[in-house]
Structure 1
Amino acid sequence: MNPETAAGVFTAARSEFAAWSGRLWRPLGEILTSVARPRPRERVLDACCGTGASAIPAARAVGPDGAVDAIDVAEGLLDEGRREAAALGLGNLRFAAADVLTWPHDGYDVVQSSFGVFFFPDMDAGSRRLAGLLKPGGRFAVSTWRGDGMSRIVPIGRAAALPDRPELEDAPPRPNHSARVDTAGKLADWLSWIGLRDVEVREVAYVQPLHLEDAWTFYLGSSMRGFVGGLSADALDRVRARFFDGLREAGLDTLDAGALIGVGRRP
């Protein structure tokens, strides 16, 4: 997904994205940060930060003498993060609207990205560039979706949109970068392949009940929103009904947000 597309999709999704923060993004962001383990006085880059799910706990961890740069292209999500950081008095946390792959600063102790690297146009080149912003010995930490979890809901969402967005059928398929890092073994191998050492991967089980209305909020607050961009209210109602039917037919009444968190060090 190019930066302009990502910015449009996730800025439009800001309210629905925020609605899922407490149930999904914040807990998983806290877990990513607990594995990356930023320490007092360290400098952290949080790439594709969204509303700050992992940037805010990182800012708490590094303390007032540390610093966190939280970068995303979606200004609407950043506004949510800025408000929360201000309310918490986190003066060491800076949110910036930018393409993190052109971010000009380096010398970080930790670079972390919560469910972001697979959106890069070139996941390998983009992630190598981020790892290159680390000090020697610095930690690069990423979270990705486990292959047998979240991937079940996306095809249902796409199929629900197709009758009103037939052009999706003819669109060239986007590279499915997430499939390359959706098992512990794949993620470990990939982190080593992009040049990191001392690689470790942790598996996170995270399943919760999924009410139909909550599922629709999740649809509109995630990258699936791109399937329905520009549709009228009537068309959205049709997509919503087909999405609910698809979930029922699949017997999908839980959201399996099982994740993988990988950490490696820059040599």
Structure 2
Amino acid sequence: MTMPEAGEIFHAAHAEFAEWSPRLWRPLGEITAAVSRPQPGERVLDACCGSGASALPAARAVGADGSVDALDLAENLLVQGRREAEWRKLANLRFINGDVTTWQPPQPYDLVQCCYGVFFFPDMDAGARHLTSLLRPGGRLAVTTWLEGGMERIVPLARDAVGEVRPDLTESFDRPNSSERVNTAGKVRDWLGSLGLERITVETATYRQPLHPDDAWTLLLGAALRGLLDQLSPAELSEARRHFEGGMHSTAMSELDASSLVAVGHTAR
């Protein structure tokens, strides 16, 4: 998936994404900022910002003397973020339509944070190295990823449901999944180390909640899987949903486990 393709998917998924923001994205964004610790007066880049789940708390933390650049390619999500930033009177927060893998700021950042975004990079290593290149000496990169055994449980159910109606579309699930490279504390620590970062810390955030089938389907429509579901006809989509809900019932899935890892590494001073 290219960055523009990812942007188009989440641009289309903005309504369902917004439905889940209070329950999922905003709480996890607050947790990310609690771990990345933006400081008063710092310059922050929030990469793959969505509607600002982690950018908004970062802007509050850095205060009027600091600044936050929030980048994403999904314009409809940026619109949501701008509205909330205006409502909260966060004049130090800019929502920018841009590709973080090529972004070149006028000066380096103290902190770059990326919530659930690195595994959408066409080349995860190259994309992350670009992010580290935007940091000042001693600056820090914070990355939030899904913890192994959590959110990934819902993906096979969706894959099987789509496969029941359009087997040809399930080939995309056979491609390497970059999120699996960073879904344990050891993996994400080693990965950040391979980027040349040091003084690496990893925090585990346990986050679970009840999950109704209707809400689970909305979650899928507001996430990356939207790109696959949009290729189904209305009749196929309805049939896929029926199979998906049947899969939830047969596996007794009644809880969403969105437990995550928040890793922070520093560049050399």
SS at match of 2:174: coil
After TM superposition, the structure 1 = structure 2 runs for residues 143-222 of structure 1, keeping only pairs within 5 Å, are 143-171=144-172, 173-222=174-223
Task: Decide whether the 8 Å contact of 2:181 with 2:187 is kept in 1.
Answer: yes
The amino acid that maps onto 1:56 is L
The amino acid that maps onto 1:2 is T
The amino acid that maps onto 1:54 is S
1-side partners of 2:230 and 2:64: how far apart? 41
Same amino acid, percent of matched pairs: 55
**How far is the alpha carbon of 1:205 from its aligned partner?**
0.5
Task: Decide whether the 8 Å contact of 1:165 with 1:227 is kept in 2.
Answer: no
- State the partner residue of 2:132: 131
**How far is the alpha carbon of 1:12 from its aligned partner?**
0.9
**How far is the alpha carbon of 1:132 from its aligned partner?**
0.8
2-side partners of 1:81 and 1:150: how far apart? 24
2-side partners of 1:28 and 1:245: how far apart? 29
Deviations 1:160-182, CA, capped at 9 Å, x for gaps: 11233332234483321111111
- State the partner residue of 1:119: 120
1-side partners of 2:65 and 2:171: how far apart? 52
Task: Decide whether the 8 Å contact of 2:164 with 2:243 is kept in 1.
Answer: no
Task: Decide whether the 8 Å contact of 1:115 with 1:144 is kept in 2.
Answer: yes
Deviations 1:78-118, CA, capped at 9 Å, x for gaps: 11111111111111000011111110114100000001001
Task: Decide whether the 8 Å contact of 1:158 with 1:224 is kept in 2.
Answer: no
1-side partners of 2:54 and 2:166: how far apart? 34
2-side partners of 1:123 and 1:171: how far apart? 18
Whether 1:48 and 2:35 are equivalent positions in the alignment is no
Q: Which runs of 5+ in 1 are unaligned?
A: none
- State the partner residue of 2:260: 259
- State the partner residue of 2:80: 80
SS at match of 1:223: coil
Whether 1:226 and 2:227 are equivalent positions in the alignment is yes
2-side partners of 1:29 and 1:169: how far apart? 31
Task: Decide whether the 8 Å contact of 1:134 with 1:266 is kept in 2.
Answer: yes
Computed over aligned residues only, the root mean square deviation of the Cα atoms, in angstroms, reads 1.2
How does the TM-score come out when normalised to structure 2? 0.96
Task: Decide whether the 8 Å contact of 1:165 with 1:228 is kept in 2.
Answer: no
2-side partners of 1:243 and 1:169: how far apart? 14
The amino acid that maps onto 1:64 is A
- State the partner residue of 1:12: 12
How does the TM-score come out when normalised to structure 1? 0.97
SS at match of 2:68: strand
Task: Decide whether the 8 Å contact of 1:144 with 1:259 is kept in 2.
Answer: yes
2-side partners of 1:98 and 1:171: how far apart? 26
Q: Which runs of 5+ in 2 are unaligned?
A: none
2-side partners of 1:98 and 1:91: how far apart? 19
Number of equivalent positions: 267
Deviations 1:26-80, CA, capped at 9 Å, x for gaps: 0000010111101111000000000000000000000011100000011111111
2-side partners of 1:74 and 1:148: how far apart? 28
Task: Decide whether the 8 Å contact of 2:162 with 2:170 is kept in 1.
Answer: no
The amino acid that maps onto 1:63 is G
